[in-house]
Amino acid sequence: MNMLIHNASIIPMTDFDYCISKGYILIEGSRITAMGEGNAPPGRYDQILDASDLLAVPGFINTHTHAAMTLFRGYADDLPLMEWLEQKIWPLEAKLTGEFVYWGTMLALVEMIKSGTTCFMDMYFFMEDVARAVLKSGIKAVLSRGMIGFGPGSDIAISESRDLVRNWQGAGEGRIKIMLGPHAPYTCPPEYLEKVMALADELKVGLHIHLAETAGEVAESQKMYGKSPVAHLESQGIYRYPVLAAHCVHLSDEDIAILADAEVAVAHNPESNMKLASGIAPVPQMLSRGITVALGTDGASSNNNLDMLQEMRTCALLHKVSTGDPTVLPAYQALQMATSNGARALGLEDVGQIAPGKKADLILIRKDSAHFIPHHDLIANLVYSGQAADVDTVIVDGQIIMQERILTTLDEAEILHQAQLAAARLVSR
């Protein structure tokens, strides 16, 4: 089956600030076969989308979240990180079952698709239930079972991670990818990280880990190991694997050099870091050292949404005001972090751009709303003015999973109903 999208404005993310005011995209099967300015070449097409009032952009890639935590949205707000975790979140997570995680993930998928996300990185529990939800939705995901190195659950996490890789790596015609998810250096002592690395060697997969999120974490690492969390993981040998590190807020110049030399990718979560008062990650410095910095929302309990358009805008504005430099993180760079940098951070070589040979993972955004006019600069309009409600159509692997804001793979009304029931049951257990 082939598809023609014509009369579209296009931001292909192939060259800095490049935007096509009117062009076309040809899709055959799951891949883009041609794109360019002007009119499409003559041909017979199975499906034609007229995108006269639409802007085509690569789908957003959310590189750090805990999808099922949508059930905790609004449950424990306005608390510092460790109090939030230890007194509110971890006790509630102890009550989770696969059914709760399934409906929480389904709720997250509705929200993510409707705000233009086509791929996300998830770290949580009951990950086979997460994978079932992803498979049904048509979206892409990189999944990791959260691993904590204390208590009887530590060995269970190793076993479940092995099963997750064996059962789900490459599922959904390659839409699902698996990594290991050691939670953080402060929850995974050195002897446990050795087990995680042995498993990574066995399964040939990368690692996703929270790193240097708070000043308290850094101080505790200095006390226990005599070095920062970044340097501690280096001494453990973690960086010989592909690593995606979430947060990286409290970094020294030495830490940044270590991450750059080891080619560690970073998932920046500005809104979560702001809400939990964790601090401001040195993103401009990391980018200047060539570190791949992508964007994530974190979970909906600490954000409180999964809206990558909002995350882009916050990211750009936060670093301008924190550096006192309005030229820092221009709109195109923020969009890179949400698209092509996200693909690179997750090791996905065939998404993140609209270009021949790439997978057809793209979104069509309405540009005829009042807040999108005039069209002096569509990239700036998207980053600084765009809203989730502007996302009209979502395509993954050449399949339309939302058109004119109607989900085609999921029953939105049923999911919202079941998620509300699940959340009520969970907090009353």
For the chain, the domains span: 2-58+357-407, 60-345
Quick one: pLDDT at residue 133? 98
Cα–Cα dist 362/23, whole Å: 15
Give the residue among 425, 427, 418, 429 at the shortest CA–CA distance from 104.
418
Written as six digits, the tokens of 286 are 């990391």
- By the 8 A CB rule, do 224 and 250 touch? no
Instruction: Burial-class residue 350 by CB neighbours within 10 Å (0-12, 13-18, 19+).
Output: middle
Of 281, 197, 199, residue with least CA distance to 239: 197
Buried b (16+ CB within 10 A) or exposed e, 241-279: bbbbbbbbbbbeeebbebbbebebbbbbbbbbbebbebb
Structure tokens at 316: 């750009």
* Range 233-255 average pLDDT: 98
Q: pLDDT tens, 91-148?
A: 999 999 999 999 999 999 999 999 999 999 999 999 999 999 999 999 999 999 999 9
- Report whether 301 contacts 72 (CB < 8 A): yes
* Domain 60-345 sits in CATH 3.20.20.140: yes
pTM of the complete model: 0.97
Q: What is the pLDDT of residues 151-205, one digit of tens each?
A: 889 999 999 999 999 999 999 999 999 999 999 999 999 999 999 999 999 999 9
Task: Report CA 18 to chain centroid distance, whole Å.
Answer: 24
**What is the pLDDT, as a whole number, of residue 79?**
85
Q: Residue 391: enclosing H or E segment and its boundaries?
A: strand 391-396
Which residues have CB under 8 Å from 314's CB, separation 6+? 270, 271, 274
Helix (H) or strand (E) holding 268: strand 265-268
Q: Which CATH superfamily is domain 2-58+357-407 in?
A: Urease, subunit C, domain 1 (2.30.40.10)
Q: For residue 262, give the nearest of 302, 300, 235 by alpha carbon.
A: 235
Task: State the Cα angle at 314 between 310 and 318, rounded to 5°.
Answer: 180
